[in-house]
Amino acid sequence: MARAARRARPLIGACLWLALAGCAIGPAPLAPSATLPSPSGTPVAPTVTATPTATGSAPTPTLPVNPCLDEAAGLSLRAQVGQLVMVGVGGGLDAAERRAIKANLVGSVVLLGAQDGGVRATRALTRELAGLNPEAALLVAADQEGGLVQRLRGSGFSRIPSAARQAKLADAELRAAARGWGAALGKAGVLLDLAPVADVVPAARKLSNAPIGRLDRGYGSNPAKVTAKTGAVIGGLADAGVAAAVKHFPGLGEVTGNTDHTAGVVDRVTTARSASLQPFRAAAEGGVAAVMVSSATYSRIDGSRQAVFSPKVIGLLRGWGYDGVVISDDLGAAVSLRRVAASDRAVRFLAAGGDLVINADPALTGAMVRGVLRKAKASPDFAEHVTGSAARVLLLKSRLGTYDCG
């Protein structure tokens, strides 16, 4: 049985991290997946060992065993699947959202729409959400990027500038600002920020790039600069005990349409070796808590599948030694998914190597969960992946201090 009622025991090395980062208001500081952020904000690569292959080809990274694996395996299959779903909640908590969370043992929620009540009202909402399914140690997330994409506002939440404006700050200054933004989130009970945006938008595409450039959501067109700025934000949030989900892998900088509103969005430029992947690779190797995968199609990586359904795209992350949580972009309300049956969306994402499904349409939750349950009962290999993904999510919660993996 899950031990969500007890706070997780302190992590080894937490005191050292506190000494480096300084005291933060809110929950205990978060240790990213494999390492801690360095004082400068530069990601520190996780320690992995390489297993030589018989043919002498490039070695495959061997990652540490997840300490939450036994805990995940001890959950019912239904509870494991619930850990892999993040349901969208609008301005409040309506009856449909409540039913979707309780009936499906949902383990995560993302706050959508305008949430203008400030820290106090948001905290009341997150406590109510946590009470719906206490054993799941509900994780609450929000899109708190800044600029036009800031879900949480009101008393206690400062107005966050757009990424384009954040990029003008020195790295240390940006990290300090992100620490403050993270502290407000932590007070409100929101422990996962679906940010920062690591998409590199070429200068020539800024006005034609609907999802990022046109909205000033990106940190620029230079991969090295974007790497530095996203690293500063990830480090600042971690200083405040809040996890980051860097997005939208492998990048939306070369597309025109927005996958939330447009079907058939294709990137015909990005390859597995493109310089624009640098910010994502640095974040992954630095142990960022989560990486969000785009629902666009990348014809020069895998032209036959959208990225969220592509083992090749998600395999790039795993090939870098990343064993954190791979989270999808929205698989519920996004127009780019309309042609895929709701019962197949979560199954295809998980089968491709993903871990946590974002579903902005609570009405589709039951269909998604039933699809995953059917597949897991029919396929031992898929069921094993479900358990492993649940363990990754539980490990993230453990590092946030909301779940005890023993």
Q: Please write the tens of the pLDDT for every residue from 304-338.
A: 999 999 999 999 999 999 999 999 999 999 999 99
**Protein fold of 14-52+62-399:** TIM Barrel (3.20.20)
Mean pLDDT confidence for 267-287: 98
Mean pLDDT confidence for 297-303: 98
The residue with greater pLDDT, 26 or 252, is 252
- pLDDT of the residue at 63: 60
Flag whether pLDDT at 59 surpasses 80: no
pLDDT digits (tens, 9 = 90+) for 244-256: 999 999 999 999 9
Residues 395, 390: Cα–Cα separation, whole Å? 9
- pLDDT of the residue at 5: 35
Residue 354 corresponds to which amino acid? G
Q: Is 329 marked active-site?
A: yes
What is the percentage of the chain residues whose pLDDT exceeds 90? 81
Query: Average per-residue pLDDT in the chain?
Result: 87
pLDDT digits (tens, 9 = 90+) for 355-396: 999 999 999 999 999 999 999 999 999 999 999 999 999 999
Flag whether pLDDT at 33 surpasses 70: no
β-bridge pairing 108-111 and 139-142: parallel
Q: Is 355 marked active-site?
A: no
Flag whether pLDDT at 22 surpasses 70: no
Residues 313, 110: Cα–Cα separation, whole Å? 24
Name, in order, each residue with C-beta under 8 angstroms of 338's C-beta and a sequence gap of 6 or more: 263
Among the listed residues 329, 330, 361, 404, the single catalytic one is 329
